[in-house]
Structure 1
Amino acid sequence: METLLLVNLFHELALKGGNRPFFLKRAKAHVKRALKGLRAQLEAAWPMALLFHLPEEAWPEAKERLQDTLGVEGFARVLRTPPDLKALEAALERVLEGERFLSFRITAKRSDKTFPLTSPELERLLGAFVKERTGARVQLKGAEREFVVRILPHAALLEVERHPGPGGLPPGVSGKVVALLSGGIDSPVAAYRLMRRGAEVVLVHFHPFPLLSGQSREKAKAIAERLARFQHRLTLHLVPFSEVQREIILKAPKAYRVVLYRRYMLRIAEAIAKEEGALALCTGDSLGQVASQTLENLHVVNQAATLPVFRPLIGFDKVEIKAQAERIGTYPISILPDEECCILFAPKHPVTRAQLSVVLEAESRLDAEALIALALEDREVVRYTWPGQKTLPEASERPPIMGHGPLNG
């Protein structure tokens, strides 16, 4: 059987007005990269769809990849026939072999208006054919099986099986964002949600090595490798945070440690954002989920950044976040044990309504410039590419330290 793959791009792209060609160009390029290495050959392209010829043995892998390809509304394995009724009936006969269903519908889409039958006429004739062969009833709503037929100039396409894509926008059309990646369930989901809105996400992970083992770093790398499936090229900055924590522990009130950790994380992430050309930061905070995520604490933490801080999960509960993590495949990694920075030396009773004046007084005793420079100097940068999930040759580069925003706000 000839294997053809029809990829429908997300309908949201049709709403982009004068910018639509830019979005569609990026979406089509993203789909082509997703199929890299599978010998998929582009045979036809329409404003919102692509048709590929695919080797039979590549279909299972192509299906798995496209289910993670942002900007794809859905995709189908299709049969190509001449554009006439008898050829479509013969193709349907092949598809019906071995299939059992009680209800079905035929959906015809006629883009070639010279075809002698209208869409409703074609649906009735093919529906009668399927009913005669299977005994199943026609059911327009909630049918167990749907057959989609597309009439094109010089050809017809019959869907053999259809699968949903993730939707969303292709990566990079909405600019660049730096996302803080912890070892927990929430932050990978927050990063994914921004990817799905077309942002190119750069990840920053703060780890306690060498104060503790390198377990946290390895976990962050595994999460980054999984998230690379959605963006195809992804950069992870691994930042040692133990020296910053040591100074905070020595010179700041115990109850304020976690708030101060998070303020310094935003400052360091903002310095990286300016290197990367990113215009915003992202965290996995959910309002009221833990002590550090009260509205008062989030307000005080925000004052350390000059860039916008996005919190895609702010109104989500843990059940919703877990379900999303399971869908995108990060949950099994996130629940592995590790040693998070914010848990290290965390007070038994952290402040839940932090006061900015107390925070600023504590930070006046810290050498912010030196601590940020130290963390940036000793970081590791890993760059992932997908398909392949291999780090790029420049993975071990250490980018230069560049200027960052104000340190006293």
Structure 2
Amino acid sequence: MKRLKTAGERRVASVMIGLVICTVVSQTCAAATFLLFANSLGTADFGKLSGAMFFQQFFSTLSVSGFRNVVIRELVKHPEQQNAITGSYLFLSGGIGLVMVFLLAIASLLVPIDSGERMAYLVISIGHVGACLIPNAIYDAKGQQVRGASIAACVDVIAVMLTSALFGLEMISVPIAASLVAGKWTLVAAASLTDLAVRNADFRPSFDWSQASSLWKSARMMSIATTLNVAPLSLGVSLTRILFGAGEAGLFAIAAFVLRSHVTVIGLLTRTVFPHVVSATGETPSFARRVFAAFGGVTLLVTTAAFACSEVALAFFLPSEYQASRITIAIVLLAGTVRVAGVVGNMYLVAQYSEQALVAIAIVGVAVFAIALVIPLPVCGRNQMALALLASSATMAVNLLYRQRDSRFS
């Protein structure tokens, strides 16, 4: 293995190690919580809960993710404007989060679902505001990613302990499970913002209309692109619930959780590398090639580990009714592996201010997903959803790499 030659590369490695440790803790706790929910609720109710949780992920992407890379880019390039940037970012993401709460609450009242599932959507929508205010972008830009991740890990430990107690008391229902998830998001946001204010004397967010307008103009295209990119995964459980029933949704939710964990771990590398991609370090072809190689190696490792962990969970921790999700898990992990090529291309297009290209690519990916979902296939509903996800991931990965083929990797 080659030695890391520059200070930037050594910094990337040290941050990545810290993030991996924190994420192992968080993902272990999240997996344990998810297994407790699955064992308590059964496939049908578990599908209902998972539909609400993954639907929130879609709204969270719409509210926050579009701003995230833009905010990191602006904070790295214009550190003297950090208070105006951070204040405007929190105002916009929180405000959009409140709008999403209102829309999700209305939708839950209009669709034909039972009272427990409706309550889950309402509770998740309230917790969504807390999720929107988790300041990961600020931690990333300040080079304090590990600090933010450690706070989230501590809250995850508390959440799994509380869930375990309720599991022992046989008190877990769909609304209670939703309340645990929503409460965790809110606590992470409150603890993180307090930590930033206490530990960083220069962290004094202030709202600025001109800065907010600039962020919105730059981030709106990113919001559209990112939302479309994650729509197949975040809406997959809800669509499976609508198209194929709650039982199929519960089985697909197991696969979706495995893929979400895969995406989360790959996201660690993205969080670590992206601030360097938008800096002078990212301009060098050698650094770009190292980025691509790092993503390739980490992806193969993560995919293998995710499949092995899912096999252990199916064999020892989940009821026999979940065994049918094994093939679905394999398909979505293949989709996640293919998707990583698009993640690398995405970073460099954002660094080059090519947001419109990202939107065009995302639209094509969603179109392929929709077409693959409606084509009659001799497979069960959950596997057709997984295959549609794979087709979408492959399309976006190929397009993203094609668009930036003449840029920094050349």
TM-score, normalising length: structure 1: 0.25
Radius of gyration: which is bigger?
Answer: 1
- The structure with the largest helix share of the pair is 2
Higher strand share: 1
Higher RCO (Cα < 8 Å, 6 or more apart): 2
